């Protein structure tokens, strides 16, 4: 997910809340944003920081970038698969004490927000994007009870273990909505070392944890058709102040629900050097295991429209040899910087479903 944030960092702050977006004024923003090569006063992530809940469900204004991210593998009453994605981003331009009030003036520019939403069904893909300035009330986040919103798109806690996600897109080419109830099961999974997920051998990284066992029920409306759905979800929470290492160009990320009850998160960062590979094996019973280059391999098997849509993922220590493939169709989120976001089917030594994100192609 970091790769996507970095590509849009210079595009956010000058926009108002919008379904369609307007690039007017974006070009001059580069001069006002702290250089990616400097800290700009932002805190840096590291394994000594740790994860603290429920506080870390909320915003981190002392860090540069963060996101809340849900993917859902759902089925209709007939058993047909249907995928849903929702992501909300915060991009900081100046660090702020969490207890401090914004500077006077309606257009102070400490941060900006962006949200993405998508539905994938029957080989088709619908996508919407919204932007908002910080400190106007149009977008924000709170930790306890959880509340993350941008305009009328909202993820909020109904109780400690029950969340509600509501998204409505009114764009003529992408008229959809979803109203989903999420029931959280299991404990949060901390990735990497104590929740610090390295993104290069030289130490760049982010704080990263996931909720990987979420029961989902609700409805998805596409055009005039409202479809009851059930299924399972994966929720990622991540924040950082470190930009990717120079030369890293893109990101391949997988979150897999295996029919055995086990889970796997895996990613690969591509660039001019050897790809950096990392992940987490999450057994049905027992403790999660961090995976590195020596434990995990990701190899492209086939591509479509310039995107690698079929992969072989192996974890030899778990006798895991998986074929992971997107369904027929084109699942590109056509925002300001397009990227691939699709459900996947898992075959091989285990079967299952999941989600795949591909950036930088």
Question: For the segment 320-347, what is each residue's pLDDT rounded down to a tens digit?
Answer: 999 999 999 999 999 888 999 999 999 9
Partners of 55 in the β-ladder: none
The share of the chain scoring above pLDDT 70, in percent, equals 86
Contact status, residue 75 vs residue 69, Cβ threshold 8 Å: no
Domain boundaries, the chain: 2-17+39-359
- Looking at residue 186, what is its pLDDT? 93
Q: In this predicted structure, what is the pLDDT of residue 9?
A: 41
Please tell me the distance from the alpha carbon of residue 168 to that of residue 170, in angstroms, as a whole number. 6
Q: How many whole angstroms separate alpha carbon 35 and alpha carbon 280?
A: 32
**Largest alpha-carbon pair distance within the chain?**
59
Mean pLDDT of the chain: 86
What is the structure's pLDDT at 165?
Answer: 98
3-state helix/strand/coil string of 31-84: HHCCCCCCCCCCCCCCCCCCCCCCHHHCCCCCCCEEEEEEEEEEECCCCCEEEE
Is residue 173 pLDDT above 90, yes or no? no
**Residue 18: pLDDT band by 50, 70, 90 thresholds?**
very low
Tell me the mean pLDDT in the region 233-261: 88
For residue 171, pLDDT over 50 is answered with: yes
User: Facing residues of 345 across strands?
Assistant: 325, 353
For 360, residues 6+ apart whose C-beta sits below 8 A from its C-beta are 3, 7, 249, 250, 251, 270, 339
How far is residue 334's CA from residue 99's CA, in Å, rounded to a whole number? Answer: 37
- Between 35-39, 237-241, 289-293, 343-347, the lowest mean confidence (pLDDT) is in 35-39
Reported pTM = 0.89
Q: Which residue has the higher pLDDT, 34 or 175?
A: 175
For 254-300, write each residue's pLDDT tens digit: 999 999 999 999 999 987 678 899 999 999 999 999 999 999 999 99
* Distance from C-alpha of 19 to C-alpha of 241, rounded to nearest angstrom: 27
Name which CATH class applies to 2-17+39-359. Answer: mainly beta
Phi, psi (rounded to 5 degrees) for 74: -115, 165
Residue 190, strand partner residues: 209
**pLDDT tops 70 at residue 185:** yes
Mean pLDDT of 195-202: 89
């Amino acid at each position: 997910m970091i790769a996507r944030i970095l590509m849009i960092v210079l595009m956010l702050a000058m926009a108002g809340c919008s379904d369609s977006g307007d690039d007017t004024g974006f070009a001059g923003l580069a001069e006002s944003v702290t250089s990616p090569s400097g800290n700009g006063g932002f805190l840096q992530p590291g394994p000594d920081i740790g994860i603290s809940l429920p506080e870390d469900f909320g915003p981190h204004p002392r860090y540069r970038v963060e996101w809340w991210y849900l993917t859902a593998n759902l089925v209709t009453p007939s058993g047909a698969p249907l995928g849903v994605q929702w992501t909300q981003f915060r991009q900081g331009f100046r660090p702020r004490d969490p207890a401090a009030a914004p500077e006077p003036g309606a257009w102070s520019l400490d941060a900006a927000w962006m949200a993405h939403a998508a539905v994938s069904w029957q080989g088709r893909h619908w996508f919407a994007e919204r932007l908002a300035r910080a400190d106007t009330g149009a977008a924000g986040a709170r930790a306890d009870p959880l509340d993350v919103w941008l305009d009328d798109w909202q993820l909020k806690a109904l109780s400690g273990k029950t969340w509600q996600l509501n998204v409505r897109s009114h764009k003529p080419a992408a008229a959809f909505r979803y109203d989903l109830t999420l029931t959280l099961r299991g404990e949060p999974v901390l990735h990497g070392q104590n929740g610090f997920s390295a993104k290069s051998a030289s130490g760049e990284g982010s704080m990263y944890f996931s909720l990987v066992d979420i029961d989902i029920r609700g409805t998805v409306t596409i055009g005039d058709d409202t479809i009851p759905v059930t299924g399972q979800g994966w929720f990622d929470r991540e924040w950082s102040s470190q930009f990717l290492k120079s030369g890293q160009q893109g990101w391949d990320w997988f979150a897999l629900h295996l029919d055995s009850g086990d889970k796997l998160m895996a990613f690969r960062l591509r660039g001019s050097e050897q790809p950096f590979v990392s992940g987490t094996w999450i057994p049905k019973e027992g403790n999660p295991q961090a995976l590195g280059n020596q434990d995990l391999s990701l190899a492209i098997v086939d591509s479509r429209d310039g995107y690698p849509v079929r992969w072989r993922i192996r974890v030899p220590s778990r006798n895991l040899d998986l074929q992971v493939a997107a369904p027929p169709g084109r699942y590109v989120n056509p925002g300001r910087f397009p990227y691939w976001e699709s459900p996947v089917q898992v075959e091989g030594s285990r079967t299952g479903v999941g989600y795949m994100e591909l950036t930088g192609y």
